[in-house]
Amino acid sequence: MRLLNIVPITTDIWNTEYDTYCRKYLLPDTKVETKKLTHGPASIESEYDEALAVPEVVFLCREAEKEGFDAVFINCFGDPGVRAARERVHIPVFGGFGPAIFYSLGIADRIGIVTVLPDVVSMLRGLIAKEGLKERVTSLRYVSIPVLDLSGIEKLISALITESKKAIDEDGVGSIVLGCTAMIGVKEAVEKGLRADGYNTVVIEAAQASLMMCETYVRMGLSHSRITYMPPRDKERFWWTGDGVLPIK
């Protein structure tokens, strides 16, 4: 099985450590290949960033299907381009939001998300509303750390534990979803810190959850509904490059 991991930014943040962490629960014969954007934002922390990322994300999904990949993971919790890509390709496409939330729904009645910045809160509220999850996802908090600064692991773990406790104590959640796919390699430490203080909850890490859901859909022979995600009709389409326009299909 071949999975494509699209990092929808221009920054090279997907390193060997991230790759090893996300592969550790996958089947031995599952191959994960990674591509990042050549044009777009350095990180996605706003609707503007997302809009700049989506065209190349969809293009890479189209190329992935042509190259024989079995599924695509768009490596961002905001799901940039997921719905558009599903219209254009037949293979399963997941972002970071859906799989992490759906796994969490299976283990708790009320879900809390702890994300990066207040800037992305309205974006995530929109995803929650679109999925009809407002009664289940009842807490949305942030650690006030930009995506490109998440490599400070100890600071991140401490902030995640603090905000997770608030979500449990003040919002009554039963599980925590880490609301950024760049929050890699901290799940176990956050769970340990919470349990040391008497909080017996489960933490879901988004990138790992998404790759595993891609794998599961492929093994079950599932993909998105063509009633929900109807293929785009043939017509002329053009993309502005700054120096002119290019036709696209």
Residue 22 in any domain: the answer is: yes
- Same domain membership, residue 214 and residue 197: no
| Total number of domains in the chain | 2
Evaluate whether 181 touches 75 at the Cβ level (below 8 Å): yes
The answer, yes or no, to whether residue 218 has pLDDT greater than 90, is: yes
pLDDT per residue as tens digits for the range 164-184: 999 999 999 999 999 999 998
Residue 246 in any domain: the answer is: no
What's 234's DSSP letter? P
- Same domain membership, residue 69 and residue 192: no
- Same domain membership, residue 157 and residue 201: yes
The pLDDT assigned to 247 comes to 63
- Same domain membership, residue 198 and residue 170: yes
SS (H, E, C) 45-105: CCHHHHHHHHHHHHHHHHHHHHCCCCEEEECCCCCCCHHHHHHHCCCCEECCHHHHHHHHH
Residue 240 in any domain: the answer is: no
pLDDT per residue as tens digits for the range 38-52: 988 999 999 999 999
Could you tell me which of 79, 11, 80, 74 has the C-alpha nearest to residue 51? Answer: 80
- Same domain membership, residue 151 and residue 77: no
Evaluate whether 32 touches 70 at the Cβ level (below 8 Å): no
Residue 249 in any domain: the answer is: no
What's 39's DSSP letter? S
The answer, yes or no, to whether residue 244 has pLDDT greater than 60, is: no
Q: Give the CATH number for residue 120.
A: 3.40.50.12500
The pLDDT assigned to 207 comes to 93
pLDDT per residue as tens digits for the range 79-120: 999 999 999 999 999 999 999 999 999 999 999 999 999 999
- Same domain membership, residue 78 and residue 105: no
Residue 170 in any domain: the answer is: yes
- Same domain membership, residue 91 and residue 105: no
Residues belonging to the chain = 249
237 — pLDDT class (breaks 50, 70, 90): confident
- Same domain membership, residue 219 and residue 131: no
- Same domain membership, residue 12 and residue 61: yes
Residue 244 in any domain: the answer is: no
- Same domain membership, residue 222 and residue 134: no
Q: Which residue has the higher pLDDT, 212 or 15?
A: 212
Cα–Cα dist 189/239, whole Å: 45
Partners of residue 115 on adjacent β-strands: 142
pLDDT per residue as tens digits for the range 7-23: 999 988 777 777 787 78
pLDDT per residue as tens digits for the range 181-199: 999 889 999 999 999 999 9
**What is the extent of the structural domain holding 147?**
97-207
Evaluate whether 9 touches 39 at the Cβ level (below 8 Å): no
pLDDT per residue as tens digits for the range 116-144: 999 999 999 999 999 999 999 999 999 99
- Same domain membership, residue 120 and residue 67: no
